[in-house]
Structure 1
Amino acid sequence: MEYNYLGKTGLRVSNICLGAMTFGSPQLGKLDKEGSHKILDRFAALGGNFIDTANVYTKGVSETIIGEWLAKQKREDFVIATKVRGQMGDGVNDIGLCRKHIMASCEASLKRLQTNYIDLYQIHGWDLATPPEEWLGALRDLVSAGKVRYIGVCNLCGWQLQKVVELCKNGEYPPIVSLQQQYNLLCRHPEFEELQVCKMEGLGVLPWSPLKGGMLTGKYKRGQKPQPTAGRIGIVAQDESKAMQIAPAWSQYDNNAEYWKLVEGMGRIAKETDKTIPQVAIRWLLQKDVVPSVIIGASSLQQLEDNMSASHGWRLSKDQMEELDNLSQTDIPYPYEMILRIGKDRDNTFYPQPFWGKLDKAGCHEILDRFIALGGNFIDTANMYTKGVSETIIGEWLVKQNREDLVIATKVRSPMGDGVNDIGLSRKHIMASCEASLRRLQTNYIDLYYVHGWDDATPPEEWMGALTDLVNAGKVRYLGVSNLCGWQMQKVVNLCKYEKYPLIVCLQQQYNLLCRHPEFEEFQVCKMEGLGVLPWSPLKGGMLSGKYKRGVRPQISAGRIGVVAQDESMALEVAPAWSQYDQNEDFWKLVEGMERIAKENGKTIPQVAIKWLLQKDVVPSVVIGANSLQQLEDNISAAHNWKLSKEQMEELDSLSNPGTPYPYEMIWRMNAIRVNSFNHKFRVKCKDSQEDFVIS
């Protein structure tokens, strides 16, 4: 057995953790006390020292079984982890993370476990009804009382995890040392958010369901529905309404070619290494640098020994790890694809210069004149748009206007020269870029200055310090951010709160009916912290304009989409590949629904797309582009004097629903009845409505 440190702590744990969810009543298909004790004995004999349970597992029976076994062992040899949050009785306070429930649950767990302390006490999920300061305070007091050694969290999403980490840094709470999260070759979404926080903050990741309820065992065959005797997957296959994260629906994988390619690859690697497919799946996790221990379940001694054989004495080669990474690669949605792309070599190819044929100065000034004549006062640019030409054009127009009537926004991060410091968010680049933007814009201050994306090479404290000095010098009025993901947003917000930097007031993010992933993370932070969301690409580069027809590839003259349709290697967020949508049934259903709603309102399809955004309660303004006066006026007509009905908003929400991956589905399911009107609601709502319009 190998032993690793649990995150940044000095505590060492076996790299296989025995999960005790299978311990409990035989009537429920779980191991009885005798069978559970045999598993525990063998686990300890093989060198295991880390055991994980929860108070909610069989309503305390799992803890009781462990306690009766633990009383016969040397207590200091074992690391015992349990959890709190689940419903443990019929009382109104027998659920959640209020102080009362945590204190009572801890005492009950200690009694059942027959111990006077818990090594790792974990919250089992977020509780919308209880502020994190309350449950962190309760956990702090349990640590101070000697009843808990370390605290951890489970099933949180990125912004939630970052918020808790920052509270622990700044609120005199004990540090969070670990995250227990579903993570396996079929569930890699946590890599986008939660695992980034763990890597940066030194938390250990404890993956649960390493075999995805059995789907990564290799025992199922394509086209053959598993029988009830085949375990969780077989039981759920008979009634897929029972499907859950630990036992997914068979139909989700039976005709999924990518899944069977993965299983085939795992089988090949298992033969190469003389191991089993489950051992390959577990070993892949153990070789991830954020993982100190993998939580396995076992219903038999044979299963226990097979899974534990993944723990030591062999390794997957670099090529085998890369093959498994590639075979299990999940789609990378916005903003993660963009963050990864602009972070690579610190180069930003997002707005390539010779691209779309931009407006000349006269055309731009005509657009600007008409925009303010229609009542517009908010103009957004960036230093890197055509390498400063956009700012220059605006500046030559701005000097002829009443400066105080207009809100001018620009951005910094991207390469503006050939020097090694002409890119990124270093203090040097920010200061030089701001001065250059002020000169081009012919103004002595910028109303809203954004960072144009995260910079892996520069700590946020450095660029927040530089921006603070620009605000204090009167050169910048407000600060914003663009294209950040959830944990990055939460980190910056917390730095502003606790390190006395000026507050971030808004997030400029791609958001439209074809890009709703920001609702899962970034918008939760904005909703909770009071930031405005400024959606860019509201028409998804033209895909939401209604001008394209199924099966008819757009020509070059049809704008960005047409240009990219000729060479899809040029595809970007602002101009996606035509093939991504041409045969996509859900996309054409959405377009059909938008067209119907447009007719009902006497509006155009683009106006419907923009109005849908404007009726989201986190959105104060939508960033539109215009290549002609007609396009400008059509888009601005979405702004006022009409509204989409509640039913129309719900229809658009439903038609554009991207699905809800882990951990968001689990977070929302666990919180379905945890509504506290005194706390912030975290979900994005329609303005002027009490109803939540959310991905469900």
Structure 2
Amino acid sequence: MEFRHLGRSGLVISEIAYGNWLTHGSQIEEDAAVACVHAALDEGITTFDTADVYAGTRAEEVLGRALKGQRREGLEIFTKVYWPTGPGKNDRGLSRKHIMESVEGSLRRLQTDYIDLYQAHRFDYETPLEETLRAFDDLVRQGKVLYVGVSEWRAEEIKRALKIADEMGLDRIVSNQPQYSMLWRVIEEEVVPLCEREGIGQIVWSPLAQGVLTGKYLPGQPPPAGSRATDQAGGANFIKGLLTDEILTRVQNLRPIAQELGLTMAQLAIAWVLQNPNVSAAIIGATRPEQVRDNVKAAGVKLEADVLKRIDEVLGPVIVRDPAKTVSPPRRP
């Protein structure tokens, strides 16, 4: 495993992180989830990402049990707050009330005394940003949170948060968690340049484009049985926008590149996002331990400029850079 600093912070994380968005507590049984976490630990992954909303808080519980007994100082545990976790009007958003109550729930479910990185899962347009940032700062001062970050914030929202934090003397954002892959490159135009200047690292989700970049979905054929595209309770709605014959055909044309490099399609896709120097980690998920063991082989892979150019030429017009001009794939909660 290779390691990187999270932005310009002092926190060092594994460049491949393990995430449990669509798996723990919903898609797979707990024994399989625990086996995947233990496989990640065996392969040198120290960074684990979750959120209170995943599987209705059950994902945090499963991760907490899976990591129980591990040396806490050797782990980086990330979670998030924003989406509804209860029926009340204050069981959502980034108000001080919801943040302060949510962090206690996350700490309890994760069975830990502190969270390494606490992230605002989306931007809250109904709560003053000053209120949110002050609450995050208070959690840092209390020692319940070590670092704060955001997820899927636009460049102008990150910029506003940095300005307020500097003016009020609050803890600054050190990370952003966006969707990023060979197919979905929206952050490159505005978010990445801003974050590079401000010392904010990207912890990217869906580097495999919901599994499309593994090459297992073939043009003109139904999705494989048991794949995310057939899981109506989980990932089917998130992947259907990517399952066009044009996208799937171009993805298949990446296969010779991967073979020449001695990589699987998945390893090529994960290695690709890690070539971006602003990326601190790529999040992988898994339903089986062997998927973890396969994907971690992307760590430390160097892709030369000519390879990156060939990838761009193969994918061509299916690359999404501006969602305002292109039909975008569905986004996760």
Q: Is the TM value for this pair above 0.5?
A: yes
Alignment of 1:3-18 (within 5 A): 3-18=3-18
Greater relative contact order, per chain length (Cα 8 Å cut-off, separation 6+):
2
Larger radius of gyration: 1
Alignment of 1:309-348 (within 5 A): 309-312=297-300, 314-328=301-315, 330=319
- Residue 53 (structure 1) aligned with residue 45 (structure 2): no
Q: SS at 1:81's partner residue?
A: strand
Unaligned runs of 5+ in 2: none
CA-based RMSD of the aligned residues comes to 2.3
Q: Which of 260, 266, 275 matches 2:249?
A: 260
Report what 2:123 is aligned to.
126
Alignment of 1:123-272 (within 5 A): 123-227=120-224, 229-235=225-231, 243-244=237-238, 247-249=239-241, 253-254=244-245, 256=246, 260-264=249-253, 266-272=254-260
Q: Which letter maps to 1:294?
A: A
Q: Which of 241, 252, 265 matches 1:277?
A: 265
**TM-score (normalised: structure 1):** 0.45
Deviation at 1:56, TM superposition (A): 0.6
CA 270–124 in structure 1, closer or farther in 2 if over 3 Å, else same: same
Deviation at 1:263, TM superposition (A): 3.1
Deviation at 1:222, TM superposition (A): 1.3
Q: SS at 2:85's partner residue?
A: coil
Once residues 289 and 21 of structure 2 are traced to their aligned partners in structure 1, the CA distance between those partners, rounded to angstroms, is 15
Report what 1:545 is aligned to.
none
Once residues 107 and 145 of structure 1 are traced to their aligned partners in structure 2, the CA distance between those partners, rounded to angstroms, is 12
Q: Which letter maps to 2:237?
A: A
Q: SS at 1:243's partner residue?
A: helix
CA 218–659 in structure 1, closer or farther in 2 if over 3 Å, else same: closer
Once residues 61 and 303 of structure 2 are traced to their aligned partners in structure 1, the CA distance between those partners, rounded to angstroms, is 38
Q: Residue deviations 1:213-269, cap 9 Å, x none?
A: 111111122111225x24122346xxx9x623xx23355x22x2x6523431x2111
Once residues 79 and 179 of structure 1 are traced to their aligned partners in structure 2, the CA distance between those partners, rounded to angstroms, is 16
Once residues 114 and 226 of structure 2 are traced to their aligned partners in structure 1, the CA distance between those partners, rounded to angstroms, is 38
Report what 1:71 is aligned to.
68
Unaligned runs of 5+ in 1: 334-516, 521-657, 671-696
Q: SS at 1:187's partner residue?
A: coil
- Residue 38 (structure 1) aligned with residue 35 (structure 2): yes
CA 327–133 in structure 1, closer or farther in 2 if over 3 Å, else same: farther
Report what 1:19 is aligned to.
19
CA 285–116 in structure 1, closer or farther in 2 if over 3 Å, else same: same
The answer to whether the 8 A contact 1:23-1:65 is kept is no
Deviation at 1:659, TM superposition (A): 5.5
Deviation at 1:94, TM superposition (A): 0.5
Q: Which of 93, 108, 111 matches 2:108?
A: 111
Deviation at 1:175, TM superposition (A): 1.0
CA 76–321 in structure 1, closer or farther in 2 if over 3 Å, else same: same
Q: SS at 2:277's partner residue?
A: coil
Once residues 205 and 78 of structure 2 are traced to their aligned partners in structure 1, the CA distance between those partners, rounded to angstroms, is 13
Q: Which letter maps to 2:249?
A: W
Report what 1:101 is aligned to.
98
Report what 2:289 is aligned to.
301
The answer to whether the 8 A contact 1:124-1:154 is kept is yes
Once residues 293 and 142 of structure 1 are traced to their aligned partners in structure 2, the CA distance between those partners, rounded to angstroms, is 24
The answer to whether the 8 A contact 2:212-2:248 is kept is no
The answer to whether the 8 A contact 2:183-2:320 is kept is no
CA 235–71 in structure 1, closer or farther in 2 if over 3 Å, else same: closer
The answer to whether the 8 A contact 2:116-2:145 is kept is yes
Q: Residue deviations 1:354-405, cap 9 Å, x none?
A: xxxxxxxxxxxxxxxxxxxxxxxxxxxxxxxxxxxxxxxxxxxxxxxxxxxx
Q: Residue deviations 1:417-467, cap 9 Å, x none?
A: xxxxxxxxxxxxxxxxxxxxxxxxxxxxxxxxxxxxxxxxxxxxxxxxxxx
CA 332–14 in structure 1, closer or farther in 2 if over 3 Å, else same: closer
Q: Residue deviations 1:255-311, cap 9 Å, x none?
A: x2x6523431x2111111111001000000111111121000010011111111111
Once residues 69 and 189 of structure 1 are traced to their aligned partners in structure 2, the CA distance between those partners, rounded to angstroms, is 34
How many residue pairs end up in the alignment?
330
Once residues 69 and 234 of structure 1 are traced to their aligned partners in structure 2, the CA distance between those partners, rounded to angstroms, is 27
Q: Residue deviations 1:103-128, cap 9 Å, x none?
A: 00001101111111100000100111
Q: Which letter maps to 1:305?
A: R
Once residues 175 and 325 of structure 1 are traced to their aligned partners in structure 2, the CA distance between those partners, rounded to angstroms, is 35
CA 219–331 in structure 1, closer or farther in 2 if over 3 Å, else same: closer
Q: SS at 1:292's partner residue?
A: strand
Q: Residue deviations 1:19-64, cap 9 Å, x none?
A: 0224433xx4x22222222111121111111000001111111111
Deviation at 1:184, TM superposition (A): 0.3
CA 155–660 in structure 1, closer or farther in 2 if over 3 Å, else same: farther
Once residues 158 and 85 of structure 1 are traced to their aligned partners in structure 2, the CA distance between those partners, rounded to angstroms, is 19
The answer to whether the 8 A contact 2:207-2:283 is kept is yes
CA 259–196 in structure 1, closer or farther in 2 if over 3 Å, else same: farther
Once residues 167 and 314 of structure 2 are traced to their aligned partners in structure 1, the CA distance between those partners, rounded to angstroms, is 41
Once residues 216 and 80 of structure 1 are traced to their aligned partners in structure 2, the CA distance between those partners, rounded to angstroms, is 27
